[in-house]
Amino acid sequence: MTVDKIRFIGNYDFNSNGKFLWEIICQLRNMGTGRYVTKNEWLQKWPNQPSYLKIIKARPAMDRWLHDGKLWAEWTFRGKNLGIYEFTHDLNRSDWRIIHKHEEPQFLNNKNSMKDVVFSDTFPLPPLQEL
């Protein structure tokens, strides 16, 4: 008996290979306050530019599956500190991992950051508006 094809039924997220964020946070002391988490997606796309969240406050909704809640975190994206954000959506992907204490200096002391995006002041008009 041979199997020709593998079919995924439902919303299978085959890009993610970690844990749910609330699964990690609920197992840490003080809901992970002061700890760092990152997404495996960020590590794959930008391996030289660190992206992570420093957890400031976490309030899980404590539903049956631990999918909802609010998270306040200091967001560093590709080496640039973006400030404190409140995350409520897009936390229920199983793509998160905790940055262990011995890995924290490697993430925090990395000086590779993305360059500033410069937008031009003007842009050309579309051909139909030039008339």
What are 38-50's pLDDT values in tens digits?
999 899 899 899 9
Give the alpha-carbon dihedral of 29, 60, 103, 97, to 10 degrees.
130
- Residue carrying structure tokens 């991992």: 97
pTM for this predicted structure: 0.77
d(CA 112, CA 73): 21
pLDDT at 105 over 90: yes
Give the alpha-carbon dihedral of 31, 37, 41, 43, to 10 degrees.
-170
CA distances from 22 to 9, 30, 131 (A): 25, 13, 56
The predicted pLDDT at position 50 comes to 92
pLDDT at 32 over 90: yes
The predicted pLDDT at position 75 comes to 94
Is the separation of the CB atoms in 80 and 37 below 8 Å?
A: no
